Structure 1
């Protein structure tokens, strides 16, 4: 393990983080708040630590997968540790445990919150809270499309058989160039959504915060009642559109913007993703229309909004889905596991894994009916080999094991079964709101401190697709 290289990269990240803390300062000054002092103090400390790490270490060009795993995992820990300082210094979240939970939830684009009165918080800190989503989303795009495939894990690993190399979709041959391209797309979408939300009546501050939360599939809002507080069909539909875009592989967006207008219709994962959303939204809409008296358009809009929000793991809300019929709630619950597409900012298991599992089950049924038939598992025109299938099965099994153990652990902390189930799936799939006492109209403030640390760890595990974190617990990983 080249520890010096790991420290060097982490130092650079800390300096970048300190610069990001300055972005909310103008908003704090404009609204006449004093939280800019907390942001400046946190930025100074973060820069000092980062600069010291950068100057006292040495980078080696021959980075190995070991260093890659360590950098990826420790980046989220250090970002959350220093990123929570503005909350602590400003007194808006005085408890370090709560502040760390809120910040980890931000950087992992989970959106689970311990805050009860969001609208009473100063604008500078609120902007920083939403900005943690946006920064986390930037990292996740490059992580999923360029870094994790190089390390041999992640949803995009399933495409390596089709296009070998460190960058699965071969946008450009270099990770840095790929990062610039993807961040460019991310920035364009953020600017577009901000403008469209301002047309709907939001001011610049609110529009930016909600655009940050949408494109990162995070879900932090500036209102206690989330997006539903605006009561605007226009705003709802704008956010639905951009949640769908955020849950889609960003490599597809890049190709579309370059003129390949059929790229979405040629991608099996995207078609599967849209089919799942369309089918489940229709089922819930019909069920809600029969059971509730909210009108045709409102029922359709709320049903579609919540399905897209849960499927893309954004977590915004326009309705309390725990007041919906049981069947509608169960459909949403199962959607919580799937997530968005590989290469997107969405969390969850990823649609590509669900798609491969579905294709495998189909092939096994055909083989039972026709024992001598050769029925390969395909993604598009590519045959998925045994190693990739084992990777998918391994991820699925590990997910279930960690999920089950975590539900048991949370239930031992006094949560009822529904709340324990909801808290674990909400954090592990990076959704935000869950079920029971952590449902869409509740928060995580009442969770015991040890539970918040466990859920923070689950957020990171889910965000980094399990194996990236689990491998750090192997003694052989740390041996030279």
Structure 2
């Protein structure tokens, strides 16, 4: 492990993070001058941290970033960013450090949960910071880091793939830095487009900006504690549905559309299965809501489509209090939490590609049982999936379910019922946010104990880093072993 090189990269990441703090500082200068000191202190703190990293950093101008160092930068970088992101909340309320870390992790992991009773509990500059962490977390802080970092061998590829997770995430361009810049451009243009449409729909500027940033990040931070229910606008919900779908599908497809490569889009099967799953889920919930006489047909269609897209994309917005829905509809939403969006998107969850590969692998094993000599290859569209990739996906799925079970048990120690614990961990691990019971769509995480919040924080980080990266850096031999990867 080249500690000096890792220290150098973390110093650059810290400086890049400091630039984000200039946005809420500007907001404080314009509308919230009594809290300027909060962000001034944050800038001083992050600059000091960057200086400390630079003291131990390597001075060589060009170095090869190996996979081991890349893993360390991704894992430690996310923990560092979440810790620094908690500083504004901590300076504002030093008596509750766990809540400060929770807000930061929830933002950067695009979970969208909060421990505050209301969004209005935050001063204007902190609200801007809260939305900005969401948006930056959606595109990935490390992705932004790649754009300002020199091209560095196969390790950079690991950084890129860590921010575009999924079974078969792909680059949009041959060079990773160009791919990262193109994805950031598309991400920004889509956010701006949604902002304009929300303004046309009649929302005030700040509410429209908050909703646009939260939607494109598939996060779900809302201006109101009851999410989109208070807006009471079908137009706002339609705009949110469209952009939640856009944000939860593979961003490489949008670049191909830009180039006019519609054939590649037609050959991509993942987004078709994703839309099919959402359509089936919405139809099932609509039928359940209508035939159980919970709401009229028009309302059932409206809210079932919105919630299927919102939970399936792991955004977590609510147009209705689904915590009060019939058990069958809540079970459909619970399953959608695990499914997640497409690979190469801002969505969380297991991802459609992985689930498709697992289903195809299970079918292949069934055929081999019936016909032991059969040769069966797993394909996604016209592309054959390497058996090593299938093995990696299988191991990821096993570890995902194992972590889900362990965290559910741990959080139930705080006194939460086991069913509510399962829903809460599923929502945090898949970056959804609202769940059922005491953390339903019209509630917050304010009533959780410090232990429950602590477990939730690790669930959000594990889900955002897709488990392996964080667990690897927690192994002592990862840091002691001198063998190169």
TM-score of the aligned structures, taking structure 1 as reference length: 0.92
Q: 1:54-453 residue pairs with structure 2 within 5 A?
A: 54=54, 56-58=56-58, 61-91=63-93, 94-139=95-140, 142=143, 150=158, 158-159=167-168, 169-453=170-454
Contact 2:75/2:469, CA 8 A, preserved across alignment? yes
Match of 2:150 in 1: none
- The 2-side partners of 1:428 and 1:386 are apart by 27
Contact 1:33/1:123, CA 8 A, preserved across alignment? no
TM-score of the aligned structures, taking structure 2 as reference length: 0.91
Q: CA deviation at 1:237?
A: 0.6
Contact 1:142/1:182, CA 8 A, preserved across alignment? no
Q: What stretches of structure 1 of length at least 5 have no aligned partner?
A: 160-167
Match of 2:12 in 1: 12
Q: CA deviation at 1:291?
A: 2.1
Contact 2:167/2:351, CA 8 A, preserved across alignment? no
Match of 1:163 in 2: none
Contact 2:65/2:156, CA 8 A, preserved across alignment? no
- The 1-side partners of 2:399 and 2:32 are apart by 49
- The 2-side partners of 1:121 and 1:230 are apart by 20
Q: CA deviation at 1:369?
A: 4.6
Q: CA deviation at 1:362?
A: 2.5
Match of 1:462 in 2: 463
Q: CA deviation at 1:86?
A: 1.2
Contact 1:302/1:318, CA 8 A, preserved across alignment? yes
Q: CA deviation at 1:364?
A: 3.1
- The 2-side partners of 1:395 and 1:236 are apart by 34
Q: CA deviation at 1:298?
A: 2.5
- The 1-side partners of 2:52 and 2:291 are apart by 63
- The 2-side partners of 1:171 and 1:54 are apart by 33
Q: Deviations over 1:381-418 (max 9, x none)?
A: 22223211111110111111111111111111211112
Q: Deviations over 1:61-115 (max 9, x none)?
A: 1111111111101111111111111112233x74111010110110011112111
Match of 2:28 in 1: 28
- The 1-side partners of 2:299 and 2:474 are apart by 49
- The 2-side partners of 1:94 and 1:308 are apart by 38
- The 2-side partners of 1:342 and 1:426 are apart by 19
**Against the structure 1 CA distance between its residues 148 and 116, is the aligned structure 2 distance closer, same or farther, given a 3 Å change threshold?**
farther
Q: CA deviation at 1:149?
A: 5.9
Greater CA deviation, 356-365 or 390-399?
A: 356-365
